[in-house]
Amino acid sequence: MTGSRSGTAGREVLYAAVGPELTWYDVDTDDASLMKRGSVILPANVQNVWPHPSRRSLFVAWSDGGPGVPGTRHGVSAFTIDGASGALSPLGTDVALASRPIHLSGTASGTHILLAHNDPSGVTVIAVRPNGALDREVVQPVPVDVGVFAHQVLVDPSSDSTVFLVTRGIAATTTAAERPGAIKEFRFTNGILTKVGNVAPGGGFGFQARNLDFHPVRPWVYLVLEQQNALQMFEQRADHMLSDTPRFTASLLDAPPASGVTQAAGTIAMHPSGKFLYAVNRASGQVVHDGVRVSAGGSNSVAMFAIDEVTGKPTHIANVPTLGSSVRTLGLDARGRLLVVGNQSALTVRDADGVRTLPASIALFRVGDDGRPIFARKYDVETGAQKNLLWVGFVSLP
C-alpha cells in the first residue's frame, strides 16, 4: 500500500498500527530512518488503513475480532491529516460494521470507501462526504456475490466504475473439501455494485487468490495465490475486465518448502515505475525443541520480480529476508526509494546461537535503480495476544 497514486508526491509519513494504536513517523528517505511523532487510539485493533486521494484524510478499519475470533465491535473511522506533520485528528462520526473488516480501499475520486469481510464473506460500501468524513453505508439493492472468504476489494485506479473483489476460497482439510477462490468483477455506480464477471481458472480450485495490484500504465494486473505460493499476471480488456486465465505464472519461492514447513504467500506491491513488483513469503510451521516451540524454518521474505516492459512477464529475481515473520502488509514510498514491511508478530527461532525470539518489527529497505531491496534498519515493536503489527504504509503529504 503506497498511498494515493494521484497528485505530486510530497513529504512522506509512515503510519503503523499495533493493536488499537495507530502511530505516525517522520521519514528520512536519505537515511532510511523513522522518528516517532504521535499516535491515536482506535476503539479496537486496527485492521487496515486507506488515505483519501486528496491525502487530507485517512480512513481506519478496526475490530476486536481476529482469525477464528468473530469479535463484537467492528467499525471504520476517519481522521484529518495535518499537511505539515501528518498528525491525525478525528473527523466526523464512526460507522459501525457488522463483522471484522480485513481490507479497506476506495475510489480514485474519493467519493466512496469499500471494505472486505472474510467471516462471513462480505463487502461494505460507505459514501464519503466532500470534506473527507464518512457519510453512511450504501445499501445494495440486491445481494452481492461475495464468494468464499473475501480478502481484498479494490477499485480499478484507471476507472472508478470497476471493482474487483478477491475471494480466497478455503483449502481442503481432512474433514472438508476445498472451496474455490475467484476474482469477482463488478460495475460500480453511485456506490452500487453490479456483478459482471467471475475469474476462476479451473473452476477456482487450486486458485487461492489473496491480493492483487495494478501496473501503473499498462493493462496488466498481478495476483498472488496464497497456498500455491505463486504470482500470476492477467491482462485487462478494453472494458477493464480481466482475461479468463493468466498470461504468466511464476513461483514466489526458490524451491519447494521442506517437510514440516507451512509456507504461504502474502501481500503484493507494484513499484511506481512499473518495472518491479514485490510480494511476501510467510513461513509459520513450528517444531518442539527442548520443550520450546520454535520455527520450523522456511522463507519469511520479500520476493522481487522484474516486469518485462513489452509483455508484462514477471521474472523472479531474489527473495530478500524480512528479518522477522508473518508480514501482513508492505509498502513503497511514492518515488519507490524505500520499501517497508511489517513483521506482524514475534517468532522464536533456533540457530547457531541457541533459541532466541525475533520481535515484531518495522523493517526498512532501500530500493536501488535495479529494484532490489537492500536492508537498511528495523524498529522492534512490542506485541502480544490479540495485539499485533497488522498494518504499515507510507502516505505522501499534500
Per-residue model confidence as pLDDT tens digits over 120-162: 999 999 999 999 999 999 999 999 999 999 999 999 999 899 9
Grid coordinates standing for 373? 531491496
Please calculate the CA angle 328-263-230 and round it to the nearest 5 degrees: 80
287-306 average pLDDT score: 88
Does 302 score more than 50 pLDDT? yes
- The answer to the question of residue 180 being in a domain is yes
pLDDT of 1 reads 42
User: Has residue 3 been placed in a domain?
Assistant: no
Question: Is residue 63 situated within a structural domain?
Answer: yes
Share of the chain above pLDDT 90, in %: 84
Torsion 131-133-139-140 (CA) sign: positive
Under 8 Å CB-to-CB from 122, ≥6 apart: which residues? 98, 99, 116, 144, 146, 150
Number of domains in the chain: 1
The CA distances from residue 212 to 22, 52, 65, 231, 255, in Å, are 25, 20, 24, 9, 23
Spatial CA neighbour of 16 closest among 343, 320, 267: 343
Q: Is the dihedral of CA 90, 94, 100, 104 positive or negative?
A: negative
- Angstrom distance (rounded) from CA 43 to CA 33: 29
Pick from 2-16, 134-148, 209-223, 383-397: least confident:
2-16
In a domain, 5, yes or no: no
CA dihedral 72, 388, 122, 151 (to 10 degrees): -170
Average pLDDT, the chain: 94
pLDDT tens, residue by residue, 307-323 = 999 999 999 999 999 99
Domain encompassing residue 223: 12-396
Residue type, 24: W
pLDDT of residue 9: 57
Query: pTM of the full predicted structure?
Result: 0.95
State yes or no: pLDDT of 3 exceeds 70: no
Q: Which three cell numbers stand for residue 60?
A: 481506519
Rounded to whole angstroms, the Cα distance separating 393 from 385 reads: 23
pLDDT digits (tens, 9 = 90+) for 89-107: 999 999 999 999 999 999 9
Q: Residue 55 falls within a domain, yes or no?
A: yes
d(C-alpha 183, C-alpha 198), whole Å: 6
List the CATH number of the domain containing 366: 2.130.10.10
| Residue whose C-alpha is closest to residue 394's, from 345, 330, 325, 307 | 330
Cβ burial of 173 (10 Å; 0-12, 13-18, 19+) is exposed
- The answer to whether position 7 is within a domain reads no
Alpha carbons 209 and 150: distance in angstroms, whole number: 9
CB 204 within 8 A of CB 182: yes
Residue 256 has which C-alpha cell?
Answer: 519447494
- Which range is least confidently modeled, 27-36, 287-296, 355-364, 369-378? 287-296
Give the whole-angstrom CA distance, residue 56 versus residue 79: 9
Angle at 298 between CA 296 and CA 300, to 5 degrees: 120
